[in-house]
Amino acid sequence: MNSFFKKKATKILGTILVALILGAIIAGIAHSGSTPLSSVAVTIMKPFQQVSTFIGSGVDYFCDYFRSSDTLQKENAQLKQQIADYQGELADYENTKRTLKTYEEFLGVKEEHPDFKFISASILSRDASDAFGSIILSKGSSKGVKVNDPVIYGKNLVGVVTDVNATSCTVTTFSSPKFNAAVYEVRSNVMGYVTGFENGAGKKYCKLPGLDKDCNLATGGVICTLGIGGVFPKNLIVGTVSEINKSKTDISNYAKVESNVDLAEIKDVFIITEFNGQGITQ
């Protein structure tokens, strides 16, 4: 037994074990989880480990060619189902995001106009036969909608209800020549009315005709509803002045007003069923 402990190899073993245990104690005290020797080994070995991982990925890729077609078919079907599920979730997410945006704008309007009573409605369809972009909404008289109720998108005017039945209603939009609303420009206070272009300038535009040649209206001016007539509340945004041109039928000018609302893109709107001054002609 004594000869065993006297052997050189045994002494070396004892030294190594003491050193390793000391390293472990140091790592434990330092809470680093690794001994100094391990840290050095990681530094030296890291490139080799990366190379072996790279080679391993290559081997995996190569081996995939030999997997049975049955396995691949099942995996393919599973992945397709996953994609379909994710697409459904994505569509839900986009719808929710859009609805949230609409309600955020609605909240802003409600805070500014506490007297407004709204109901939300989604666009069921667009009247394909109407070149001026009439829309059909999902709410009707059963929900309190009536003819001449204004329709808004956020703070922007979309149109007015012109036809109602129990579960839906038709809205004539601002781009229709049948539409009329008394408006003013917020900076220059120029007053007038907006209506749609007869020649269908596009579903984002309406015109403000009958302007004097020397009026103060300039491009970029914001056009809002005037609030007289009892149909539209005051200060709903109609659009901004994009051009001022000479009228072809008389000596006045007209302003081309571009709406912030793209009628082709919106999916949900709000119908104002009640507001202070509704039905009262000033």
Partner 1 sequence: MESGTFYNENKANQLRRIKLAVVVFVTFLLQNNSSLFIRPTDVPVMLLVPLIVCIGMFEREKWGMFFGLFAGILVDAFSAESLCFHSIALTCIGFLSGLLITGIFRNNLKTCLLFSSVSIFVYNTVYFLLYYVSAAGIEADYIYINIYFASVIYTFLFVGVFYVIVRAICSKKKD
Could you list the residues that contact partner 1 (CB under 8 A)?
7-9, 12-13, 16-17, 20-21, 23-24, 27-28, 33-35, 37-39, 41-42, 45, 48-49, 52-53, 55-57, 59-60
**What are the structure tokens assigned to 278, written together?**
């509704």
Closest C-alpha to 211, from 252, 257, 256: 252
Query: Which amino acid is it at 28?
Result: G
Cβ closer to partner 1: 42 or 166?
A: 42
CB of 12 to partner 1, least distance (A): 7
Cβ closer to partner 1: 52 or 122?
A: 52
Closest C-alpha to 146, from 269, 266, 275, 274: 274
Cβ closer to partner 1: 63 or 251?
A: 63
Whether 205 contacts 197, CB under 8 Å: yes
CB of 45 to partner 1, least distance (A): 6
Cβ closer to partner 1: 11 or 246?
A: 11
> What DSSP string runs through 122-166?
EEEEE-TT-TT--EEES--GGGT--TT-EEEETTEEEEEEEEE-S
CB of 44 to partner 1, least distance (A): 8
CB of 53 to partner 1, least distance (A): 6
CB of 21 to partner 1, least distance (A): 7
Cβ closer to partner 1: 45 or 84?
A: 45
| Region of 277 on the Ramachandran plot (φ > 0 left; ψ -120 to 50 alpha; else beta) | left
CB of 7 to partner 1, least distance (A): 8
Cβ closer to partner 1: 50 or 247?
A: 50
Q: What is the maximum alpha-carbon separation in the chain?
A: 125
Q: What is the dihedral of CA 173, 177, 178, 182, to 10 degrees?
A: 80
* Cα angle 144, 148, 150; round to 5: 80
Cβ closer to partner 1: 20 or 191?
A: 20
d(CA 170, CA 137) in angstroms, rounded, equals: 6
Whether 158 contacts 152, CB under 8 Å: yes
CB of 47 to partner 1, least distance (A): 12
3-state SS class at 170? strand
